[in-house]
């Protein structure tokens, strides 16, 4: 589905926060004394190349009982108060209500108010969502039906300009998934205000008896102006736990899937606790930051010898000439209530240490 964005200029609304506070007060009146918890995260960023620094602070206060919970979240940065939000979740048997109001204090304006009302029965889940933004109000209806034989997921979105009373059709989607001769099959149909938008057929975990060490995934997408076909093969090798090769192939002719050309190749490998992923982007228009064509990422998580949990992450990006960027991250969790992180970004081609950051997250 398209991402919903909003223009600035909509005046703040006091109804969202009033409604949320009324829900909170009503819940307090009918429930026991709530449990309270706090979460605080701070990060300091240093930019050696221009001799500057910045910081962020985020605080979350949570109240929780058996039937409801609420969160009040606030975020501060070097140049001011950036974010304030209030959210609440209520449960009534098969029904759940989630509502969140967000503000941008530094700009003195309301950001959005999102409310989800969900009914959950044996195989059927119905969801009604409303979203108010600066420029547009949304009404979204979703139905999800799941059994052992078939899954059906539908969505229907309406929208109206801010302050208008008349809703207009925006888009709708239908997704049907089932297993056919051991092959996981999924059919997606999307429509928008201009009629048909996209039809996608996905076949996953296709096994060929003569090639027992490999499985294949295929995705075929049909649009009015173009077609695309992606193909993925998973190959198991030793000593690697799993080596997965994915080739993204597209058709260059709008009315035929031939001729085909490869636009992206992805290789994933798991060796012990390390996960390694290499992406080669052959389509220049899709290069990262319009500059990097090769992206190699690796990550690992393991228990520390002394105590706690350690996570490591590395990202290496290549330009056509040389290694252009190295991003590294180190996370240490001595307990489930404390997390310490260190991140850096180095530009080898320019000989510049672009940024360094230290962050601390604690819960109590």
| Residue pLDDT, tens place only, 10-24 | 444 455 556 655 655
Between 152 and 35, where is the model more confident? Answer: 152
- Bridge partners of 285, per DSSP, are none
pLDDT confidence tier of residue 6, bands split at 50, 70 and 90: very low
- Condensed to tens digits (0 to 9), the pLDDT of residues 284-315 reads 989 999 999 999 999 999 888 778 899 999 99
Q: What is the mean pLDDT of the chain?
A: 84
Residue 174 class from Cβ within 10 Å (0-12 exposed, 13-18 middle, 19+ buried)?
middle
Distance CA 331, CA 89 (A): 31
Q: Report pLDDT for 293.
A: 96
In the three-class reduction of DSSP (H, G, I as helix; E, B as strand; rest coil), residue 23 is classed as helix
- Condensed to tens digits (0 to 9), the pLDDT of residues 197-240 reads 889 998 888 887 877 777 777 888 887 766 666 665 555 554 44
In the three-class reduction of DSSP (H, G, I as helix; E, B as strand; rest coil), residue 16 is classed as helix
Q: Report pLDDT for 205.
A: 83
pLDDT confidence tier of residue 34, bands split at 50, 70 and 90: confident
Distance CA 17, CA 186 (A): 41
Q: Report pLDDT for 331.
A: 95
Measured in whole angstroms, how far is the alpha carbon of residue 140 from the centre of its chain? Answer: 19
> pTM (2 decimals)?
0.72
- Condensed to tens digits (0 to 9), the pLDDT of residues 100-136 reads 999 999 888 888 999 999 999 889 999 999 999 878 8
Distance CA 94, CA 127 (A): 12
Q: Which residue, 272, 352, 278, is CA-closest to 49?
A: 352
Between 216 and 142, where is the model more confident? Answer: 142
Neighbours of 72 (CB within 10 A): 15
And the tokens for 316? 């290496």
């Amino acid at each position: 589905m398209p991402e919903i964005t909003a223009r600035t200029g909509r005046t703040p609304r006091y109804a969202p926060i009033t409604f949320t506070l009324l829900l909170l007060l009503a819940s307090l009146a009918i429930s026991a004394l709530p449990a309270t918890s706090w979460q605080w995260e701070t990060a300091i960023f240093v930019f050696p190349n221009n001799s500057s620094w910045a910081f962020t602070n985020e605080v979350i206060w949570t109240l929780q009982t058996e039937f409801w919970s609420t969160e009040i979240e606030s975020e501060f940065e070097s140049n001011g108060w950036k974010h304030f939000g209030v959210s609440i979740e209520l449960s009534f048997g098969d029904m759940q209500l989630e509502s969140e109001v967000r503000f941008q204090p530094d700009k003195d304006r309301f950001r959005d108010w999102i409310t989800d009302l969900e009914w959950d029965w044996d195989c059927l889940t119905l969801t009604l969502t409303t979203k108010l933004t600066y420029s547009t109000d949304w009404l979204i209806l979703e139905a999800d039906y799941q059994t052992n034989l078939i899954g059906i997921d539908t969505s229907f979105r309406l929208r109206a300009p801010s302050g208008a009373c008349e809703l207009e059709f925006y888009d709708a989607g239908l997704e049907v998934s089932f297993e056919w001769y051991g092959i996981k099959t999924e059919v997606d149909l999307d429509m928008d205000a201009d009629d048909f938008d996209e039809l996608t057929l996905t076949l996953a975990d296709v096994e060929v008896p003569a090639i027992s060490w490999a499985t294949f995934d295929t995705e075929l997408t049909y649009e009015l102006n173009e077609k695309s076909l992606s193909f993925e093969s998973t190959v198991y090798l030793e000593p690697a736990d799993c080596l997965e090769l994915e080739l993204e192939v597209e058709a260059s002719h709008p009315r035929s899937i031939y001729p085909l050309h490869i636009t992206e190749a992805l290789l994933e490998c798991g060796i012990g606790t390390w996960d390694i992923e290499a992406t080669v982007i052959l389509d220049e228009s899709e290069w990262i930051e319009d500059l990097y064509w090769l992206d190699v990422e690796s990550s690992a998580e393991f228990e520390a010898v002394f105590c706690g949990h350690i996570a490591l992450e590395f990202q290496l990006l290549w330009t056509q000439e040389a290694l252009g960027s190295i991003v590294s991250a180190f996370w240490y969790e001595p307990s489930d209530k404390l997390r310490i992180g260190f991140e850096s970004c180095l530009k080898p081609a320019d000989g510049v240490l672009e940024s360094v950051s230290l962050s601390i997250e604690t819960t109590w």
